[in-house]
Amino acid sequence: MATIAVLGTLDTKGDEHAFVAGLIRSRGHRTLVIDVGILEPARFDPDISRDDVASAAGVVLSEIVARRDRGEAVKVMAAGALVVVQELLRQGRIDGIISLGGGGGTAIGTAAMRSLPIGFPKVMVSTLASGNTAQYVGSKDIVMFPSIVDVAGLNRISREILTRAAGAVCGMVEIGSAPECGADNPVIVASMFGNTTDCVQVARAVLEAAGYEVLVFHATGVGGRTMESLVETGMVAGVLDVTTTEWADELVGGVLSAGPTRLESAARNGVPAIVAPGCLDMVNFMGPETIPDKFQARTFYAHNPQVTLMRTSPSECAELGRVIASKLNLSIGPVTVLLPLRGISVVSAAGQPFYDPEADHALFQSLKSALRPGIEVKEFDCGINDPVFAEACAAALLANIASGKAGGSRKGSHPWQT
């Protein structure tokens, strides 16, 4: 029997949360109800009150209620809910979490869920689940369950949806953890794009043969952010960062940016790494109709009907070199830069649509000149997907791992704990 946290605004959506809690208990599980409502009385008694949640955020609830500022209330309850569920997890009191909500409820529920580890069952039934959910999911495995109708009463549609959602979270806790496979092997994380797949596959084989488990992340923005967050946990032995393309989107304005802190986790935490400029030749947009007018004269390549790539210019490449160097200069652990001089992606090799030696030269020279002393740079007269380059990346990472490691932990306590 597991315990599932049911978190929500029990004033406006109390009946719906009570319905879901009853379904969970009917499956033989316990519930731990957390109220994050604000204005009206809760429709049923929670296990953790809204006052407790606000207190966990360092706020007196009555003061928020008096101001009747909904935006402030959502912010406070999201912060408090995050603290509450983290502590419940630390105490071993919850095995899964489910929440139901519209805009405010989704913001609060997913803020709490994003604080929980990958693999912990998380289900968010939301009116926003069919749109862009990146800001709600972040880099975690939150299941966004479309509510279809508003979460505003029990009816023939909502009962069906809520029943399936309750079944989903129950199924997640009932199946337990995934079977261990190579659990004792140290972890290496790697960044990959379709245009660097061959490189990563060859390097991965070398690293796995050396006794490592390699987790590959697709460099689509959320992939880079997820990889960075995993590095911060201290469970990663090394970083094979051969696909730093997300920085091109961050700098130029593409759709796959991983944010301005990409490349900082390994550097700041001393995790051994190798870095290559994979796919910095491209900025990602969706269909051709989504490309801003200011870029219409640029060089494009249709990756597929939904993705259009734009070639980075020499000036953009020079700036990318400076940015990458500034991130690597933060490194307190061993890091090596590897440069494939004959193409940083499939489409920038000789004869391909993005072949531009001037842009590549600007990137390489800027990167090398901006790196601080002590960071080794290795150049190879081949493309990024050449097996020679891939094997060199793996060998350099193994050498860096052999010379340095990193890790860490966090603890905390709160007055509402039992």
Mean per-residue pLDDT for 265-279?
97
Provide the percentage of residues in the chain whose pLDDT is more than 70: 95
DSSP helix/strand/coil, 386: coil
Do the domains 187-402 and 3-175 match in fold? yes
Mean per-residue pLDDT for 213-219?
94
In the numeric block, the tokens 């000149």 are attached to 369
Spatial neighbors of 162 by CB under 8 A, at least 6 apart, are: 16, 19, 20, 23, 100, 125, 154
What distance in Å separates the CA atoms of residue 403 and residue 380, rounded to the nearest whole number?
A: 23
Spatial neighbors of 273 by CB under 8 A, at least 6 apart, are: 238, 239, 240, 241, 266, 267, 331, 333, 334, 335, 336, 397, 400
Q: Which of 45, 49, 41, 44 is nearest to 77 (CA)?
A: 49
Tokens of 259: 């944010």
Q: Which CATH class is domain 3-175?
A: alpha beta
Condensed to tens digits (0 to 9), the pLDDT of residues 384-414 reads 999 999 999 999 999 999 997 443 333 333 3
CATH architecture assigned to 187-402 = 3-Layer(aba) Sandwich (3.40)
Q: Which of 317, 347, 329, 341 is nearest to 248 (CA)?
A: 317
Q: Within 10 A of 418 (CB to CB), how many other CB atoms are there? A: 6
Tokens of 71: 């935006």
Any idea where the domains of the chain sit in the sequence?
3-175, 187-402
Q: Which of 89, 149, 93 is nearest to 125 (CA)?
A: 149
Q: Which of 255, 169, 184 is nearest to 219 (CA)?
A: 255
Counting DSSP H helices and E strands in the chain, the numbers are 14, 14
Residue 179 has pLDDT above 70, yes or no: no
Q: Which of 48, 50, 100 is nearest to 76 (CA)?
A: 50
Predicted confidence band of residue 180 (pLDDT cuts 50, 70, 90)? low
Tokens of 367: 């990167």
